Chains A and B, each alone.
Chain A
Amino acid sequence: MTLTAGFANPVADAQSCFRAVLNAMARPGRVHLVAGVTAPFPLCGAAAAVLLTLADHETPLWLDADAEAAGGWIAFHTGASIVTADRSAFGMALTLPDLTGFPNGTDEMPETAATIILQVASLEAGSRFVLAGPGLRVPAILTVTGLPTDFAAIWQRNHGLFPRGIDLILCSGGHLTALPRSVSIKDA
């Protein structure tokens, strides 16, 4: 088995990917382009870049069974240990997992909640959601293919836990956006 490379330029690529994620968290639903990595099957470029940017030996990772083929690549490039969902700091998923299975923080330390990187089919076409909350002057529209039909209801339970709750990073191809726990989501 041969491993594909990580970032071509580790320092600069991680910085530009981080800025994309930071901007996406700060302005939920806005889609950003990231580049610089040849993704391992079955991950997309954006998901692989986010893992290289944020995961390391300090962040236990939960890996979706469908994404296990990328386990060797993740272990080699990030050093993150693979753990069960309830002990994870990050989740890497190809379909939306049960959010209640992940740590969602405590009232005093809500920052200990997990971040789930979710690979979706498209961030350009599909179901439309209306986002509102910090970071958005006026409600924004998020278009995405690959979320469950009852996602708005699932998210409402997560958002209702605020300041606890899971943060989501959605990735598709070379694009990503983010849904911090602070954002409220309705079907458009």
Chain B
Amino acid sequence: MKGYNFAYLDEQTKRMIRRALLKAVAIPGHQVPFGSREMPLPYGWGTGGIQVTASVLGPRDVLKVIDQGADDTTNAVSIRRFFALTAGVATTTATAEATVIQTRHRIPEKQLREDQIIVYQVPQPEPLFRLESSRVETKRMHGLADYGLMHVKLYEDVARFGQISISYDYPVMVNERYLMSPSPIPAFDNPKMDMMPALQLFGAGREKRIYAIPPWTRVRSLDFDDHPFRTINAPYPCGLCGAADSYLDEVVTDDRGGRLFVCSDTDHCAERRAAGHVGTDGFQEAAE
């Protein structure tokens, strides 16, 4: 695009972000501060993820952007168009075709590969922020690997509700050293982070932090021996494609209590339907 550098950011900014990314990869799960820039969209719309993607992206990359699993929501469409415009990269909605995947709050259902990079948009990188408001204190706790506070919070959940009551942004231990926020992905997606073949990068624009998980790294969701971590999902198959193992969104269909449960990962659902899978509320693709 005329008048802009490749992928919008200037080279000086990219170098700064690239240096932060390399340190983040060398210290899995540790939050590295960076000089987050003003972007042409507001905080909360993925400015951290966009800056990471812009620093990583090359002309031969194929970019996929998802928002809550969907390729066709406002945030995903505008970020995809932003990079198509400023970097001229090819874009796709197919998980398997992408080399870089920027995501807001989901991990694709399809297993990612070694040659892919997934970039998470992160609103709040500090997993302890609800328990300790001082950054000075939480930094010290990370330095000392002192995560007792989080265990107390989980214990209090069990004492009060009989179970751990966190359904998204469920805290994880990375490489048995750093407590990390996985970003607000559903706890359902947490197991996908463990020993993932792809490189995972996290960008928090407003909070000015970058962190990373190298491929094949142990990512453990915190739990107790007698209250093991478990994922929660709606107890139905997808209404459109019949998938019983994907994360579901609940869609209200009328004002008489009608509901439809559909795959949150739109590409996964479309691919299954194209292959002939039909759910109870779906219809044969060929008959369309």
Contacts and interface: CB of A to CB of B under 8 A. Distances in A.
Interface string A75-100: 00000000000000000000000000
A54 interface: yes
B4 to A, nearest CB: 11
Contact of A26 (B11, B19, B195, B214): B214
Given A11-B6, A27-B215, A167 B26 contact: yes
Contacts of A19: 56, 58
A134 interface: yes
Contacts of B19: 54, 59
A154 B94 CA distance: 46
A16 B24 CA distance: 19
A54 B11 contact: no
A27 B58 contact: no
B11 A22 contact: no
Contacts of B216: 134-137
B25 A180 contact: yes
A26 B116 CA distance: 12
B286 interface: no
A181 interface: yes
Interface string B1-44: 00001100001101110111111111110101100000000000
Interface string A106-150: 111111010100000000000000000011110000000000000
A167 B22 contact: yes
Contact of B139 (A18, A108, A113, A115): A108
Contacts of A58: 15-16
A188 interface: no
Contacts of B195: 137
B144 interface: yes
B22 A21 contact: yes
Contacts of A12: 6, 58-59
A181 B214 CA distance: 13
Interface of A: 10-12, 14-16, 18-19, 21-23, 25-27, 53-54, 56, 58-59, 106-111, 113, 115, 134-137, 162-163, 167, 180-182
Given A12-B58, A56-B15, A181-B26, 15 more contacts: A11-B6, A15-B57, A19-B56, A22-B18, A25-B214, A26-B25, A27-B114, A27-B214, A107-B144, A108-B140, A110-B23, A111-B20, A134-B175, A162-B177, A182-B214
